[in-house]
């Protein structure tokens, strides 16, 4: 069985999410949403269930290669901390994971990892092949890009266990969930996590009043460095669009990295003065931090969102979007903009 990678565009995914959530609402389903490992209204199959599809199966990796997975995994090593939250959200049996650079789990899913007994392997950027061997995994997940990437070690990891390569920066957490669901035989769990989140988004959209005009999404770092600005159809923009916001698209010519990215335009600080949206959401910040940073920057005083006093944090855990952090984002939007 060959597993196709998820190639849906963000607009297609967004439309599918809205249709799915609308169907749930018509059916009278309750709404919840969380980048958390939670259950949907329909009973989900447990990991390792015998209705999880045909094995062996072939996974199409992000680097163009393929990996044969002989049987449904029961002991997954995630070498990419940015992907571990999505594995937990679909109830995948991840037992060992790399951590952030400080040796910690991401806060949004740390409780879920502790409850599942997940062990720490190594900090991002400091991989340890001996630790991978000691984990005795039957599936290894590797990121192709990012600080936690181990694409150059795939050959060594393949000697330990079947190793799949994903690119979490190229899509939404929903696309990644479907992809990982196919690799692990947890397609039902992946779809349930998405449906649950869609229901929460629909419920929240009905409760909030969206400010007039456009909104933008900024990872504010101040002068002297990059200040990434979210694409309208990136992971953050897709969530906000589903909630009813219209997202300002950053100028592609501002991008300072060699290759274009699907999630952000990495812009120099001075380009922040050219933003025109009436509302700004600041990544990796609560409302107070957003106001004390972006909202109080004298150079940005004439930016419409700053002049309007409409600068908000998108949440301390909002930079890397998985189901757990996406839920935090939506719940915060509800708190701020509920009627």
Going by C-beta distance under 8 Å and a sequence separation of 6 or more, which residues neighbour residue 317?
106, 107, 108, 284, 324, 325, 328
- Cis bond leading into 56, ω under 30°? yes
- The reply to whether 208-337 shares the fold of 2-201 is yes
Residue 249 per-residue DSSP state: P
Range 2-201 classified under CATH 3.40.50.1980:
yes
Residue 238 per-residue DSSP state: H
**254: helix, strand or coil:** helix
The one-digit pLDDT tens for each residue of the chain (339 residues) are: 555 444 433 334 433 443 333 333 333 333 333 333 333 333 334 433 334 579 999 999 999 999 999 999 999 999 999 999 999 999 999 999 999 999 999 999 999 999 999 999 999 999 999 999 999 999 999 999 888 999 999 999 999 999 999 999 888 999 999 999 999 999 999 999 999 999 999 999 999 999 999 999 999 999 999 999 999 999 999 999 999 999 999 999 999 999 898 899 999 999 999 999 999 999 999 999 999 999 999 999 999 999 999 999 999 999 999 999 999 999 999 999 997
Residue 252 per-residue DSSP state: G
CA distance 130 to 82: 21
Q: Note the pLDDT of residue 36.
A: 37
- CB neighbours of residue 143 within 10 Å: 24
Q: Which residues of 31-63 are buried (b: 16+ CB within 10 A; e: fewer)?
A: bbbbbbbbebbeebbebeeeebbeeebebbbbe
Q: Show me where the domains of the chain are located.
A: 2-201, 208-337
Question: Class of the 208-337 domain?
Answer: alpha beta
Backbone φ/ψ region at 222: left (φ over 0), alpha (ψ -120 to 50), beta = left
Q: 163-166 and 139-143 as β-strands: parallel, antiparallel, unpaired?
A: parallel
| Alpha-carbon separation of residue 208 from 36, 201, 256, 268, 311 (angstroms) | 22, 11, 36, 33, 17
């Amino acid at each position: 069985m060959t597993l196709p990678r998820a190639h849906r565009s963000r607009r297609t995914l967004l439309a599918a999410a809205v249709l799915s959530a609308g169907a749930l609402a018509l059916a009278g389903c309750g709404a919840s949403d969380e980048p958390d490992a939670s259950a949907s209204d329909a009973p989900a199959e447990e990991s390792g269930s015998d209705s999880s599809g045909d094995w062996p199966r072939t996974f199409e990796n992000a680097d163009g290669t393929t990996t044969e997975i002989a049987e449904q995994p029961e002991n997954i090593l995630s070498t990419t901390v940015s992907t571990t939250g999505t594995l937990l959200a679909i109830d995948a049996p991840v037992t060992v994971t790399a951590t952030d650079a400080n040796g910690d789990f991401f806060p949004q899913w740390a409780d879920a990892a502790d409850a599942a007994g997940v062990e720490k392997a190594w900090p991002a950027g400091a991989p340890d092949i001996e630790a991978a061997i000691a984990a005795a995994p039957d599936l290894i997940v590797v990121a192709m890009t990012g600080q936690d990437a181990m694409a150059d070690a795939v050959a060594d990891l393949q000697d330990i266990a079947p190793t799949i390569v994903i690119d979490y920066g190229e899509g939404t957490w929903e696309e990644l969930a479907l992809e990982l669901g196919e690799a692990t035989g947890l397609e039902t769990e992946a779809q349930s996590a998405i449906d649950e989140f869609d229901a929460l988004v629909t419920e929240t959209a009905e409760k909030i009043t969206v400010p007039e005009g456009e909104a933008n999404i900024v990872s504010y770092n101040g002068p002297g460095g990059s200040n990434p600005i979210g694409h309208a159809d990136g992971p953050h923009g897709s969530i906000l669009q589903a909630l009813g916001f219209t997202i300002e698209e950053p100028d592609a010519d501002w991008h300072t990295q060699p290759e274009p990215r699907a999630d952000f335009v990495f812009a120099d600080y001075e380009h922040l003065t050219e933003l025109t949206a009436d509302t700004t959401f600041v990544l990796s910040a609560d409302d107070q931090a957003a106001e004390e940073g972006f909202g109080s920057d004298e150079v940005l005083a004439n930016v419409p969102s700053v002049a309007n006093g409409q600068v908000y944090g998108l949440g301390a855990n909002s930079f890397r979007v998985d189901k757990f952090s996406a839920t935090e984002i939506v719940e915060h939007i509800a708190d701020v903009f509920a009627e």
